[in-house]
């Protein structure tokens, strides 16, 4: 009985559709026919049709866009004080990401591996920073200047908002991975992958927060000592050459010389023999360290650091200036001439 009803319904629907089609075709205006013919003329003959692979690029592009959109949707965005940190979806579930409020350190974001935190808790060990990968901190210019005078291992300035605030990418100086058993290669692979992603965060953070611009500061021994002259009023230093020997800074403003020696320059340690010949010496008597800037042509922009009770330790640097017209030795010679005048030598 049910089958007969279904057949009757199908027959009725079929008859209704035929009557509707007939009515439509009888009422279709005459201009509809040319449009139909035009569509036929633009079709590619079956024997000349392009192979199915021809549609693959478009299909692939659509698929890629869809996957990219899905990946973006899976990402986790964390915000603090108007700044955004995006964590890829495939890592977000592995990380404990916090956005502290006024913690006294200026920390905006902090990422740690959950598995390490849980392992430390399971072992009932009070491990400060278990699984810590990185933090992003905001500090003011005065705090940054003070930091630049000393070793900043684990703190990398990388951005500024142009309003006197600077951003540090902070990382541990030791390994914070915690496990009950360290023999699982999968754990090591995940930890390595998380650290590789973390290394990309400063660049990503800059691109996601357009109100920031890149800011770079060196932290070699040369950078630190130049910063001390710039920001520490008690910095004790002298400059000397064979012309007038050692001269004290007196009231000579070091800013014009430091601006050239500190900005847009990278001091790169090099494994080479130090140049021969005369040099300008920037010395810090209280610390037993000096920096030699060579006069010889092939020694320009090479600086030798010498330290130790008997000056037994040496390290050579090359100064790479963005402005290639700057010569570090010439800057030091000009600075020395200013000291000579202040000391009554000229």
Q: Do 320 and 248 belong to one domain? A: yes
Cα–Cα distances (Å) from 171 to 99, 101, 178, 236, in that order, read 16, 20, 16, 32
Average pLDDT over residues 288-293: 97
Is 312 within the bounds of a domain?
Answer: yes
How much is the pLDDT for 16? 37
Q: Do 174 and 286 belong to one domain? A: no
Q: Do 192 and 239 belong to one domain? A: no
Average pLDDT over residues 312-320: 96
Confidence of residue 66 (pLDDT cuts 50, 70, 90): low
Q: Do 232 and 323 belong to one domain? A: yes
Is 63 within the bounds of a domain?
Answer: no
Q: Do 153 and 280 belong to one domain? A: no
Range of the domain at 274: 221-342
Domain count, the chain: 2
Looking at every residue in the chain, the average pLDDT score rounds to 84
Is 95 within the bounds of a domain?
Answer: yes
| Residue 221 confidence (pLDDT) above 50 | yes
Average pLDDT over residues 231-244: 96
Q: Do 175 and 271 belong to one domain? A: no
Is 53 within the bounds of a domain?
Answer: no
> Are the C-beta atoms of 329 and 294 separated by less than 8 Å?
yes
Confidence of residue 206 (pLDDT cuts 50, 70, 90): very high
Per-residue three-class SS string for the chain: CHHHHHHHHHHHHHHHHHHHHHHHHHHCCCCHHHHHHHHHHHCCCHHHCCCHHHHHHHHHHHHHHHHHHHHHHHCEEEEECCEEEEECHHHHCCEEEECCCCCCCCEEEEEEEHHHHHHHHHCCCCCCCCCEEEEEEEEEHHHHHHHHCCCCCCEEEEEECCCCEEEEEECCCCCCCCCCCCCCHHHHHHHHHHHHHHCCHHHHHHHHCCCCEECCCCCCHHHHHHHHHHHCCCCCCEEEECCCEEECCCCCCCHHHHHHHHCCEEEEECCCCCCCCCEEEEEECCCCEEEEEECCHHHCCEEEEEECCCCCEEEEEEEEECCCCCCHHHHHHHHHHHHHHHCCCC
Q: Do 127 and 190 belong to one domain? A: yes
The phi and psi torsions of 96 (rounded to 5 degrees) equal -105, 105
How much is the pLDDT for 52? 47
Q: Do 254 and 199 belong to one domain? A: no
How much is the pLDDT for 65? 62
Q: Tell which of 154, 187, 214 closes a domain.
A: 214
Q: Do 95 and 202 belong to one domain? A: yes
Q: Tell which of 214, 245, 269 closes a domain.
A: 214
Q: Do 135 and 231 belong to one domain? A: no
Stretch among 45-54, 99-108, 194-203, 252-261 having the lowest mean pLDDT: 45-54
pTM value? 0.77
Is 337 within the bounds of a domain?
Answer: yes
Is 94 within the bounds of a domain?
Answer: yes
Q: Tell which of 199, 214, 229 closes a domain.
A: 214
| Residue 147 confidence (pLDDT) above 70 | yes
How much is the pLDDT for 136? 98
């Amino acid at each position: 009985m049910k089958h007969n009803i279904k057949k009757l319904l199908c027959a009725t629907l079929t008859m209704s559709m035929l009557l509707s089609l007939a009515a439509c075709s009888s009422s279709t205006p005459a201009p509809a026919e040319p449009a139909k013919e035009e569509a036929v003329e633009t079709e590619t003959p079956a024997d000349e049709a392009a192979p199915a692979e021809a549609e693959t690029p478009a299909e692939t592009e659509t698929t890629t866009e869809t996957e990219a959109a899905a990946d973006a949707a899976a990402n986790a965005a964390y915000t603090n004080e108007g700044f955004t940190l995006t964590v890829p979806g495939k890592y977000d579930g592995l990380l404990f990401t916090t956005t502290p409020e006024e913690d006294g350190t200026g920390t905006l974001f902090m990422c740690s591996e959950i598995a390490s935190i849980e392992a430390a808790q399971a072992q009932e060990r009070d491990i400060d920073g278990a699984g810590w990968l990185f933090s992003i901190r905001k500090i003011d210019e005065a705090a940054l200047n003070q930091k630049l005078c000393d070793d900043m291992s684990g703190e990398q300035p990388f951005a500024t908002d142009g309003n006197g605030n600077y951003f540090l990418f902070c990382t541990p100086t030791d390994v914070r991975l915690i496990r009950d058993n360290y023999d699982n290669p999968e754990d090591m692979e995940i930890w390595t992958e998380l650290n590789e992603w973390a290394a990309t965060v400063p660049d990503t953070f800059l691109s996601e927060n357009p109100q920031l611009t890149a800011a770079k500061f060196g932290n070699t021994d040369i950078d630190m000592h130049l910063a001390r002259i710039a920001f520490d009023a008690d910095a004790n230093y002298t400059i000397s050459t064979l012309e007038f020997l050692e001269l004290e800074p007196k009231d000579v403003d070091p800013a014009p010389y430091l601006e050239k020696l500190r900005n847009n320059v990278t001091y790169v340690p090099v494994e080479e023999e130090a140049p021969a010949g005369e040099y300008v010496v920037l010395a810090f008597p209280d610390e037993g360290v000096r920096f030699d800037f060579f006069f010889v042509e092939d020694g320009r922009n090479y600086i030798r650091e010498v330290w130790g009770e008997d000056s037994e330790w040496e390290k050579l640097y090359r100064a790479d200036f963005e402005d290639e017209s700057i010569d570090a030795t010439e800057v030091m010679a000009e600075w020395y001439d200013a000291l000579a005048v202040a000391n009554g030598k000229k």
